[in-house]
Amino acid sequence: MTTLSITGGRVLRPDATVTRADVLVDQDAGEILEIGSDLAGEGNETLDAEGSLVTPGFVNGHCHVAMSLLRGYADDKPLDAWLQEDIWPAEGELTAEDVRTGAELGLLEMIKSGTTAFADMYFDVPEIAAAVEEAGLRARLGHGIVTVAKDDEGARADAETSLEVAREYDGAADGRISTAFMPHSLTTVGTEYLEEFVPKARDAGVPIHYHANETEDEVAPIVEEEGVRPLAYAAERGMLEPEDFVAHGVHVDESEIQLLAEAGTSVIHCPASNMKLASGMAPVQRLRDAGVTVGLGTDGAASNNDLSMLDEARDAAMLGKLAAADAAAVPAEAVAEMMTAGSADAIGLESGRLEEGAPADLAVIDLEKAHLTPRHDLVSHLAYAAAAADVRHTVCDGRVLMRDREVLTLDEAAVRERAQAAAEALSARAGDDE
Ligand SMILES: CSC[C@H]1O[C@@H](n2cnc3c(O)ncnc32)[C@H](O)[C@@H]1O
Ligand SMILES: [Zn+2]
């Protein structure tokens, strides 16, 4: 057995307590063997965690990782105008190679900010899967289906691609990749396609993931045309099962919160994207009080504009309090849970907890910084004060992906250089230079 010991740190446990302990990892199984004292000499490989917090690796529950190539491409617009006027035309110009480059850039940022797993909706998924395999993270991937503005043949082909990708890539990268069937949203995929393909996704045994209730503009047409709220419409189409997870859930009423709680469907809260696009404030405390599993996601880097789950944590706490008009709402412990076990549970992964037998996915945060001094409460620091640059080591599936801020699985300088060149070429093709 090959082992790794992470020594001298303070370990965040699933009950939100922090204890001084070493962590011993079975690298062959990718699992945590033991959390205890005096394990320093046990590992074939060692990571120093003195003066650091050892946390579960962060789980980004909703992303479009390849959109890192579009970071800063179009800002300061609401969702619909942003997508229709800027993002979708630019995405129309993306090559498969661009998607690979954008994914590598996003994965680099994830590793550097302590994220070890994520859920992703995009196209050219084989490119994203190859990048995930290389980078060493864990991911639930899916092809996003849009049927509006397509003829029947094009719409069906898109839905078929989503099914094929879900079937083919489930279990790829030695089991680090899992999949889902991913209609883009309830307004961008026609009812007839949902009714035809959702049962096929169930037969394939994969969860369903989609954007839901993100803006008011998305709710109104469903209420007008179908006479029910969007999540009731989704439930009628079999899209609200315990393994399913929706992104956003900003404009949900009490009946929809109850529906989610009864169905066991999870919500991925994306506070930065919701603020930037002025979509609204998700009722996170009410969702949690009702028993809904709430995870955290960044959405893509074009609407955020970074992929740091530590930024997202702080945003979730701040916005949650504002939305509830209650400073006690969405406290630090809740945020720590949402960015780790909450997201992992939502997207159907076993990660997110540091305990014996759990996947060895973790991040080590350097606490010896002015902005993390003094150390009254490390859960508070995780939610409110720590930043991406404080992440010292990142481990996924027992493998060290970053040691002392050096990423070991991707060539950082080469990825950044390729991304800059690809972004410039994309702007030229999209006519932005004229
Ligand atoms: C068809 S692949 C996924 C699709 O989603 C777009 N997208 C990115 N961010 C958002 C968001 O916040 N709401 C809805 N759609 C979003 C992305 O540009 C891709 O086209
Ligand atoms: Zn999204």
Name beta bridge partners: 362. Answer: 56, 395
Residues in the chain: 434
The C-alpha atoms of residue 27 and residue 284 are separated, in whole angstroms, by: 37
For residue 192, how many other CB atoms are within 10 A of its CB? 12
Cβ partners under 8 Å of residue 365, min gap 6: 52, 53, 54, 55, 114, 382, 386, 390, 391, 392
- Assign 378 to helix, strand or coil: helix
What architecture (CATH level 2) is domain 67-347? Alpha-Beta Barrel (3.20)
Cα 309 to Cα 170, 259, 299, 315: the distances in Å are 25, 28, 11, 10
121 Cβ closer than 6 Å to some ligand 1 atom? yes
- Percent helix, strand, coil in the chain, to 5, is 45, 25, 35
Ligand 1 pocket test, candidate residues 98, 184, 216, 270, most atoms within 8 A of CB: 184
Give the pLDDT score at 431.
Answer: 82
| Continuous segment of H or E residues that includes residue 135 | helix 125-135
ipTM (interface predicted TM): 0.99
User: CA 231, CA 237: separation in Å to the nearest integer?
Assistant: 10
Q: What does the pLDDT read at residue 433?
A: 61
| Domain boundaries along the sequence of the chain | 3-57+358-407, 67-347
* pLDDT at site 432: 76
Chain segment 152-173, per-residue pLDDT in tens: 999 999 999 999 999 999 999 9
Q: Is 353 near ligand 1, meaning CB less than 6 Å away? A: no
Please, what CATH class does the domain formed by 3-57+358-407 belong to? Answer: mainly beta
What spacing in Å lies between the alpha carbon of 184 and ligand 2's midpoint? 8
- pLDDT average per 10 residues of sequence, the chain (434 residues): 97 97 98 95 94 98 98 98 97 98 98 99 98 98 97 98 98 98 98 98 98 97 97 98 98 98 98 98 98 98 98 98 98 98 98 98 98 98 98 98 98 98 95 68
Q: How far is residue 278's CA from residue 61's CA, in Å, rounded to a whole number?
A: 20
Structure-token match 């093709």, residue found? 429
- φ and ψ at residue 102, rounded to 5 degrees: -65, -40
Annotated binding site for substrate: 91, 184, 214, 299
Q: Which helix (H) or strand (E) holds 89?
A: helix 88-92
Identity of the residue numbered 128: I
DSSP H helix total and E strand total for the chain: 16, 18
Ligand 1 and 268: CB distance under 6 A? no
In the annotated binding site for Zn(2+), the residues are: 62, 64, 211, 299
Is the Cβ atom of 146 under 6 angstroms away from ligand 1?
yes
Ligand nearest to the CA of 79: 1
**Does the beta carbon of 106 lie inside 6 Å of ligand 1?**
no
* Closest C-alpha residue for ligand 1 atom 1: 144
